[in-house]
Amino acid sequence: MSSAHHEVVVIGAGIAGIHAAYELTKSETPRDFVVVDALDGPGGTWRTFTFPGVRSDTEVFTLGYSFKPWTGVPYASGQEILDYLTEVIEENDLSAHFLYQRRLISASWSTEDQRWTLNFDVRSGDVVTTETMTASFLWMCHGYYRHDEPHRPNWPGMESFEGQWIHPQQWPANPEIEGKRVLVIGSGATAATLVPSIASECAHVTLLQRSPTYYFQSANEDDLATQLRGLATPPEWIHEILRRKAVKDMENTTATLKLFPVPARDALIGQVAAQLPEGYDVATHFTPHHEPADQRICRILNGDLFAAITRGDVTMVTDHIATVTPSGVRTAGGIDIDADVIITATGFDLSIFGEAAFDLNGVPVDFSSTVTYRGILFSDVPNLAWTFGALRLSWTTRVELVSNYVLRLLDELKASASTSVVPRLKEKRSSMELSPFVDPSEFSPGYLVRSASRVPRSSSEEPWCYDIDFWSEKDRLPTAPVRDEFLTYEGSGIA
Ligand SMILES: Cc1cc2nc3c(=O)[nH]c(=O)nc-3n(C[C@H](O)[C@H](O)[C@H](O)COP(=O)(O)OP(=O)(O)OC[C@H]3O[C@@H](n4cnc5c(N)ncnc54)[C@H](O)[C@@H]3O)c2cc1C
């Protein structure tokens, strides 16, 4: 058991936590801080996910940071992204701030002491001990899903299956899928990238989905980047130009999907149909029931999934699971799928504040009864920020906006010789109509829908909302006030 005090403790060493560390060291005000992560190294998502074919679904000009040019192909492998993040830590001399294999299990705020007491489980091999540290300010960069536990639906008969279960979030070192009949359950980016990557080595792959997904297919090349590189344009310029283009392209795409859902839908489905053999049952397997703007559209590179289907390596089944059997799965429609290996690409479970137990002076915090202030702070919870990224375009685009805001907030704490800042709703609360953190009518992936009752609330009233509209927030958040009628500063001098 050890203990230490830090001005800022950042939880999570993924894209968000690394950016927080970068900003904290670049700030004119020197600050004592640590970044703590449960994993055994940095990278977050890009360390946890190692399944074959894991790659980005948005281009890395914007999934990467504004300050470090991306010089590779637009859609990069998980390993390439992990290398990029590791380089950011090395190039900026950040590694001394990072602590690994420490899981935050509880966070207690003391008004009297004006600080958080944080308890961590520290893992060393199979041995787990406890470590305590205190923090004046707690910055949660824990992402949005649980890294330790994937989402596992509970199907009848699961225990009877005689083959191997694999979850892409916990990809084994030796998966033994070569020459095997593999059933992949799920739809979405993970299934769509995994299946073409393993299809040729397996005896056969069946992709069983409950409902179809929208796909957009492209080459892994950006013509403008290629042209600019051919003109020996400096990488920093190319990076900035491609970032602006990506943000504008996605703004146009989002507007088109919302304004013209029917033609957009027809175009997306038509693009898929054109890649598949004549007479293929596109209506069943590739015609989604939701609107194109409701969820992220999966990107297929060079038509690899459709080519694997056309070759006969992959069979699509769109149906519900009735039961798992000793030899595979029987669907509600009566189809028996025999398999040696079942891969459950069934998504994530949302992580509410790292699944740590929070309390304020001993009173447990129920985050679902808090209201978010700008999608960063939470009503009545002092000195706590959460970096939640962008949903419709690269996560990192909003990460950078949030880091900038938090740094300004920390500067204001120091400048005003305060020890805490807390957003107080006051009498406003009774008049506000509240919804889950992300408005389900705007965006509704499974992990958000399943946990809607556990997340902080949001409203349609500025500043009490998480704004899914990055394009307006990108102009507003950089100048959003760190003092207003709701932010209450207390104490004298940061502890
Ligand atoms: C396969 C896959 C592909 C993706 N592709 C894209 C893409 O192309 N574009 C895009 O924008 N987004 C993509 N995403 C979303 C992706 O998660 C984000 O882009 C981004 O990597 C999230 O960064 P983060 O730092 O906020 O969180 P994460 O990467 O989730 O990192 C959070 C870190 O916090 C740590 N942590 C959590 N709780 C605790 C705790 N209690 N104590 C200590 N440590 C804790 C975790 O161990 C983890 O290391 C993808 C996600 C997956 C799974």
Sequence spans of domains, the chain = 5-148+349-490, 158-344
What average pLDDT score do residues 355-372 get? 96
- Which residue has the CA at smallest separation from atom 23 of ligand 1? 15
- pLDDT single digits (tens) 277-291: 999 999 999 999 988
Contact yes or no for 474/410 (Cβ under 8 A): no
Backbone angles phi, psi at 471, to 5 degrees: -65, -30
Contact yes or no for 391/468 (Cβ under 8 A): yes
Using pLDDT thresholds of 50, 70 and 90, give the confidence band for residue 495. very low
**Res. 2: pLDDT tops 60:** no
Instruction: Decide: 13 in ligand 1 pocket, CB within 6 A.
Output: yes
- pLDDT single digits (tens) 291-317: 898 877 899 999 999 999 999 999 999
Distance 220 CA to ligand 1 centre (A): 23
Instruction: Give the residue, out of 118, 395, 399, with the most ligand 1 atoms within 8 A of its beta carbon, to mutate for a pocket test.
Output: 395
- pLDDT single digits (tens) 221-275: 999 999 999 999 999 999 999 999 999 999 999 899 999 999 999 999 999 999 9
Using pLDDT thresholds of 50, 70 and 90, give the confidence band for residue 21. very high
Distance 45 CA to ligand 1 centre (A): 4
What average pLDDT score do residues 84-113 get? 98
Q: Which amino acid, residue 88?
A: V
- Residue 493 has a pLDDT of 53
Q: What is the pTM of this model?
A: 0.95
**Res. 381: pLDDT tops 60:** yes
* Closest ligand 1 atom to 42 CA: 49
- Which residue has the CA at smallest separation from atom 26 of ligand 1? 143
Instruction: Decide: 17 in ligand 1 pocket, CB within 6 A.
Output: yes
Architecture of the domain whose range is 158-344: 3-Layer(bba) Sandwich (3.50)
Using pLDDT thresholds of 50, 70 and 90, give the confidence band for residue 427. confident
Architecture of the domain whose range is 5-148+349-490: 3-Layer(bba) Sandwich (3.50)
Instruction: Decide: 44 in ligand 1 pocket, CB within 6 A.
Output: yes
Backbone angles phi, psi at 115, to 5 degrees: -160, 160
Using pLDDT thresholds of 50, 70 and 90, give the confidence band for residue 438. confident
Instruction: Give the residue, out of 23, 142, 149, 367, with the most ligand 1 atoms within 8 A of its beta carbon, to mutate for a pocket test.
Output: 142
- Residue 492 has a pLDDT of 66
Distance 141 CA to ligand 1 centre (A): 9
Q: What percent of the chain has pLDDT over 90?
A: 83
- Which residue has the CA at smallest separation from atom 27 of ligand 1? 143
What average pLDDT score do residues 114-119 get? 98
- Which residue has the CA at smallest separation from atom 39 of ligand 1? 354
Instruction: Decide: 143 in ligand 1 pocket, CB within 6 A.
Output: yes
Task: Check for a shared fold between 5-148+349-490 and 158-344.
Answer: yes
- pLDDT single digits (tens) 136-179: 999 999 999 999 988 888 999 999 999 999 999 999 999 999 99
What average pLDDT score do residues 62-85 get? 98
**Res. 3: pLDDT tops 90:** no
Q: What is the CB neighbour count within 10 angstroms for residue 106?
A: 16
Distance between CA atoms of residues 165 and 344, nearest Å: 8
Instruction: Decide: 58 in ligand 1 pocket, CB within 6 A.
Output: yes
Instruction: Decide: 104 in ligand 1 pocket, CB within 6 A.
Output: yes
- Which residue has the CA at smallest separation from atom 49 of ligand 1? 44
Instruction: Decide: 354 in ligand 1 pocket, CB within 6 A.
Output: yes
